[in-house]
Amino acid sequence: MPFAQIYMIEGRTIEQKRAVIEKVTQALTEAVGAPKENVRVWITEVPKENWGIAGVSALDLGR
């Protein structure tokens, strides 16, 4: 059972997250031949103040 764990900065729409789930599922199905019913995708949204880029939080960078 393929399992993909995706970390993203908070703020994506439900539609964007649905698209990520769909496309990651499709990619794993094509890459490893697993039935899509067996693919699991877990999205973890990280608060902007908890995500650092080049020593600065994403919140402070305006992301």
Q: What pLDDT shows up at residue 39? A: 98
SS3 17: helix
Q: What pLDDT shows up at residue 28? A: 97
Q: What pLDDT shows up at residue 58? A: 95
Write down the catalytic residue from 2, 25, 28, 58.
Answer: 2
Query: Distance of alpha carbon 53 from its chain centroid, rounded?
Result: 17
List the domain boundaries for the chain. 1-59
**Residue 2 falls in the annotated catalytic set:** yes
Q: How confident is the model at residue 59 (pLDDT cuts 50, 70, 90)?
A: very high
**Over the stretch 2-48, which tens digit does the pLDDT of each residue have?**
999 999 999 999 999 999 999 999 999 999 999 999 999 999 999 99
The third-level CATH classification (topology) of the domain covering 1-59 is Macrophage Migration Inhibitory Factor (3.30.429)
Q: What pLDDT shows up at residue 55? A: 96
